Structure 1
C-alpha cells in the first residue's frame, strides 16, 4: 500500500492546488469521473479540473484531507474531509461566509499509476445544511 499512499499524497496536493501539471501526471486522458447531479461522467484531467473549479468557485479556500484509505488490487476507497468557507455561489446558493467541514467518500480505479475512474460521493446534505440552504 506504500505506493498507493504515496500516489494519493500527490493526488491530495493536486486537488488542494488545482495544479494542471499534476493533473496531467496523475489522471489518465481516458479517465471518467462520476459526480452527483451530472448524468454523464466528466473525462480526463480537464474534467477533473472542472470538478475542482466548481468546488473552488463556491469555496475558494477549500482544502481536502485524507481520513481513511483502503486499497485492494486496482481499487482504492478514500474518505476525505473537505473544509472551506462559502465565499461564492454554490448550487445556486449565494455566498454566506459560513465555514464548512464535510465528508466525502470516493472510489477510484488505478491503471499504470494514473486514475482511470472515480465515483465521488460528497455529503451534499451536510454541505447544503451548513451553508443554510437546507434547514437543520
Structure 2
C-alpha cells in the first residue's frame, strides 16, 4: 500500500506530464480541487494556471518539463524541474529566436483527498529571457 507522500508524488508526476508537457488543460479538474489556491499565476485560480500553460505552449510548443527531484512529506510535494524547449513565440517583448532554452524551476503543491489545493511556482525567468535573447550563461 502506498503511503500518502508516495501517492501524492505519483499524482504530481502525472500532473506535470499531462498538464504541462501535453497541455491537456481539459484534464485540470482531474488534478485540482475546485477551490484550490493559486499563488503564482494571475488570476489566482484555474483560469490563471491554464492561461500560463497556454503561454508556455505558444512560446515553446516543444517544451518538456523533466522532474529532477520530488520531495514529499505529509500533504506537501516540492518539485525541482528543468524546462527544455525552443523559443518559437514572442514573449515579454522578445521575438521568436529559435534559441534552445533550458531553465530550472521549483513547484510546491499541497494535496488533500488526492487533489491539489494549493500551488506555487518559481521559475528562473531572468535566465529564460537571457537564453531567448541568445545570451550565453556566465
Q: TM-score, normalised by structure 1?
A: 0.87
Identify which of 1, 7, 16 aligns with 2:21. 16
**Aligned residues between the structures:** 132
Mark the runs of 5 or more structure 1 residues left unpaired by the alignment.
none
Deviations 1:76-134 (A, max 9, x none): 11001101100001122110000101000111111111111111100111111111187
Aligned to 2:51: 50
Alignment partners' CA distance in 2, 1:97 and 1:134: 13
Alignment partners' CA distance in 2, 1:113 and 1:94: 40
Deviation at 1:61, TM superposition (A): 1.1
Aligned to 1:115: 116
Aligned to 1:26: 31
Alignment partners' CA distance in 2, 1:125 and 1:81: 15
Deviations 1:52-74 (A, max 9, x none): 11111211111111001111111
Aligned to 2:80: 79
Mark the runs of 5 or more structure 2 residues left unpaired by the alignment.
none
Q: TM-score, normalised by structure 2?
A: 0.85
Deviations 1:35-60 (A, max 9, x none): 2xx6x55202x332111111112111
CA RMSD across the alignment: 1.9
Greater Cα shift, 19-28 or 106-115? 19-28
Q: Which contiguous aligned blocks of 4+ residues in structure 1 show a shift greater than 4 angstroms?
A: 133-136
